[in-house]
Structure 1
Amino acid sequence: MSDDEAGQAGAEAVRAAWGRIDAWLRKWGPDSYARLAPPAEPGAVAAAEAALRMRFPAELRASLGCHDGVGGEGVLPVKPPLSAAGIVRYWTRWMELTEEEREFGDPEEEGEPSWHPRWIPWAESDGDAQIIDGRDGPGFGRLGMKYHDEEGSFGDDAPSLAAYLTEVADALENGRSVGGRVPYVGVSGEMWWAEAPAAPSGGG
């Protein structure tokens, strides 16, 4: 499968996952469903790509084409997605914080740099962001975290935005967890994610 074909397959998976999430929220979490923004205007996505000086991965463009961000936490288990304009604001803030650095990360050192210009913040709250790796190579498109007071980090839990959103849709429909967190819905129709209860220990 070519890179273009893989990108299109990922974009379709993102749209399908958002469709499932939307349908579940309309039925079970209407207050949270109301927080979902309408699709981003193509011009807003193009402007964001120009500001970051890169073309977004197909999966991120597909997600913005479903919802231009989410107003408030609770819809997804990690962080609420940013709008196209919010992506630019967060990225620009970190670029300004690191503008005096000539290089982003020392190749002699292990681990990730404090910030990299090809990291794309896609979801954020309280200064901490879930980021998409836009660097070329085998890690392209994977999800990681950038905490405001720590270096960026990438694990194996979310190899792509499509995989993450599909896992969320599966959890909503089938009562599963995402990263150890399970969804709850209050009587008002507002949902949130909390740590899954520990399994009862066997008695003797």
Structure 2
Amino acid sequence: MSPAASTIRASWSRIDAWLLTHAPASYALLAPPADPHEVEAAQAEMGVRFPLDLVESLACHDGLLAWANMFPSKPPLPVAQILAYWRMSEEIAGDDPDFREAHGEDSEPGWHHQWIPWAQSDGDAQVIDMRDGPHQGRVGTAPHDDTGSFDNGWPSLAAYLHDVAEALDCGGEVHQLAPFLTTDPKLWWSCPGETELNGEPLTPAPTLRP
């Protein structure tokens, strides 16, 4: 097994274990593994090869079964919705240079066909950049009403999931968001110091390691 695959599986194993122990209702929202044939078909239609860490992540969980605030960024998508969101973004972008082209030396376009929308909510996607170059595989954002950005992202999906697992296991934050438990109990990410959600108490997420 490659280092990237091993890292992804280790991170998901840690996330799964934490959820089973502290938030089984959240764990129940994780989908089973994706069909490898569906993953291959999506790559063929998109004309973009998925990075190994995304393939391995989908082999652990094909996104979520329903929306949940289980991650410090967007909820992971099943492969069918990855493809659907990519299709929609391609259709919206069309041949419009305002979407397709960057408007400045250090800026990003609104959408690029080699971005893989691996997670999404409210029309804003967390994307994996598969353009050629030294930053291939990095994770950033593609908002529905702004240009893409990788300034506050991660070098890879493996790095992102590792940070999530570390925050659950050992405590801490991921980009200024901390894990909490709702009264259900379910996992919920919010700003450090929050004490309630919709009038109900939020408690800091317990860790599995000291």
Give TM-score scaled by structure 1 length. Answer: 0.89
Q: Which residue of 1 aligns with 2:76?
A: 81
Residue number among 163, 167, 171 corresponding to 2:163 in the alignment: 167
Distance 1:197 1:190 in 2: 17
Q: Which residue of 1 aligns with 2:89?
A: 94
Amino acid at match of 1:85: A
Residue number among 1, 6, 10 corresponding to 1:12 in the alignment: 6
Secondary structure, counterpart of 1:10 in structure 2:
helix
Q: Which residue of 1 aligns with 2:43?
A: 49
Contact 1:32 1:74 (8 Å CA) reproduced = no
Q: Which residue of 2 aligns with 1:128?
A: 124
Secondary structure, counterpart of 2:154 in structure 1:
coil
- List aligned pairs for 1:24-35, cutoff 5 A: 24-35=18-29
Where in structure 2 are there 5+ consecutive unaligned residues? Answer: 195-210
Distance 1:190 1:106 in 2: 40
Distance 2:59 2:102 in 1: 36
Contact 1:69 1:83 (8 Å CA) reproduced = yes
The 1:150/1:106 distance shift into structure 2, 3 A limit, reads closer
Where in structure 1 are there 5+ consecutive unaligned residues? Answer: 199-204
Amino acid at match of 2:119: A
Secondary structure, counterpart of 1:12 in structure 2:
helix
Contact 1:73 1:79 (8 Å CA) reproduced = no
Contact 2:103 2:109 (8 Å CA) reproduced = no
Task: Please state if 1:115 is matched with 2:111.
Answer: yes
Q: What CA deviation, in whole Å up to 9, does each residue of 1:108-151 have, x standing for no partner? A: 65400111000000000110010000111011011100110000
Secondary structure, counterpart of 1:124 in structure 2:
strand
Distance 2:153 2:82 in 1: 22
Q: Which residue of 2 aligns with 1:192?
A: 188
Amino acid at match of 1:67: H
How much has 1:86 moved relative to structure 2? 0.5
The 1:187/1:80 distance shift into structure 2, 3 A limit, reads same
Q: What's the RMSD between the two structures over aligned residues?
A: 1.8
Task: Please state if 1:66 is matched with 2:60.
Answer: yes
Contact 2:119 2:125 (8 Å CA) reproduced = yes
Residue number among 12, 30, 36 corresponding to 1:36 in the alignment: 30
Identity fraction in percent: 47
Tell me the matched-pair count.
192
How much has 1:156 moved relative to structure 2? 4.6
Amino acid at match of 1:81: P
Amino acid at match of 2:123: G
